[in-house]
Amino acid sequence: MKQFYNANQEQLLKAFLEKSNVVLPESVYEKLLQYADLVVEGNEETNLISKNDGPKFLSRHIADSLVPYIILSKEGRLSQNMKWADMGSGAGCPVIPIAIVCPDIQFFAIEPRKRRVLFLESVQQKLNLKNLKVIGKRFETSEITGCDIISCRALSTFENDWERCRHTLKHGGIFATLKSLEHVKDLRGTPDTEIIEYTLPEEPQQYALVIRELK
């Protein structure tokens, strides 16, 4: 498989993981690289990501996608056989990188756009992700229920996304979304809402993982 990223990108991703105290088996790391290749290669036919993001897919998108795993695992909030749904999965971030590193969790990639659904299904097959199911529907019509975790990345406002998904969480379930910090500053002090700030390699802006638990 052709590699669309350079050695510097690999070094940036490895440094990000080391800084986060994450050690991945070589087979898992290689699968992340394979996924990156599939996205950038697929982007030549289907508009999956911005063309400017292709050369920095590892340091920008893979690293960002792994933030929920890094934080939730450190907090002891991940366990085997959890049910994790991703709302509006697009090209597969964050759900596919997390599914790669968490083989004992069942993931659902929910995406209504047909070309992206076909791409996600192709990735699932090529990477042999037995813990990932692709659902080609809008989240509201997916009939997904009883989720331990629901994630999304850069969809609508936090509160709008929360209202779309809260009824599908089980009691004590977690909604985790990746946002630009600038877009969630007004959530500071909101009850039951945790804002965890972070940065990404060679990215000037700050980002935030916003977590809310269904009480």
Quick: pLDDT tens for 95-137. 999 999 999 999 999 999 999 999 999 999 999 999 999 999 9
Judge whether 94 and 86 are in contact, CB under 8 Å: yes
* DSSP 8-state assignment for residue 176: E
C-alpha closest to that of 18 among 2, 29, 7, 27: 29
Which of 13 and 45 is assigned the larger pLDDT? 13
Average pLDDT of the residues in 62-69: 98
pLDDT at 55 over 90: no
121 found inside a domain: yes
CA 177/CA 154 separation, integer angstroms: 8
Q: Output the pLDDT for position 45.
A: 76
1 found inside a domain: no
Query: Whole-number mean pLDDT of the chain?
Result: 93
Give the pair of three-digit tokens for residue 58. Answer: 């590892």
Quick: pLDDT tens for 85-98. 999 999 999 999 99
87 found inside a domain: yes
* Residue-number span of the structural domain to which 114 is assigned: 7-213
Phi, then psi, of 197 in degrees rounded to 5: -85, 150
What is the helix (H) or strand (E) element at residue 139, kind and residue range?
none
Q: Strand 207-213 and strand 193-198: pairing?
A: antiparallel
Judge whether 156 and 163 are in contact, CB under 8 Å: no
How many domains does the chain fold into? 1
pTM equals 0.94
Average pLDDT of the residues in 192-205: 95
Q: Output the pLDDT for position 49.
A: 77
Q: What is the CATH number of the domain that holds 113?
A: 3.40.50.150
Q: Output the pLDDT for position 77.
A: 96
2 found inside a domain: no
185: which residues sit within 8 A by CB, 6+ positions away?
none
63 found inside a domain: yes
56 found inside a domain: yes
Q: pLDDT tier at 4 (50, 70, 90 boundaries)? A: low
CA 102/CA 78 separation, integer angstroms: 9
164 found inside a domain: yes
Q: Output the pLDDT for position 53.
A: 74
Quick: pLDDT tens for 135-192. 999 999 999 999 999 999 977 899 999 999 999 999 999 999 999 999 999 999 898 8
Judge whether 213 and 192 are in contact, CB under 8 Å: yes
17 found inside a domain: yes
Q: Output the pLDDT for position 42.
A: 82
Q: Strand 83-87 and strand 147-153: pairing?
A: parallel
Q: Strand 169-180 and strand 193-198: pairing?
A: unpaired
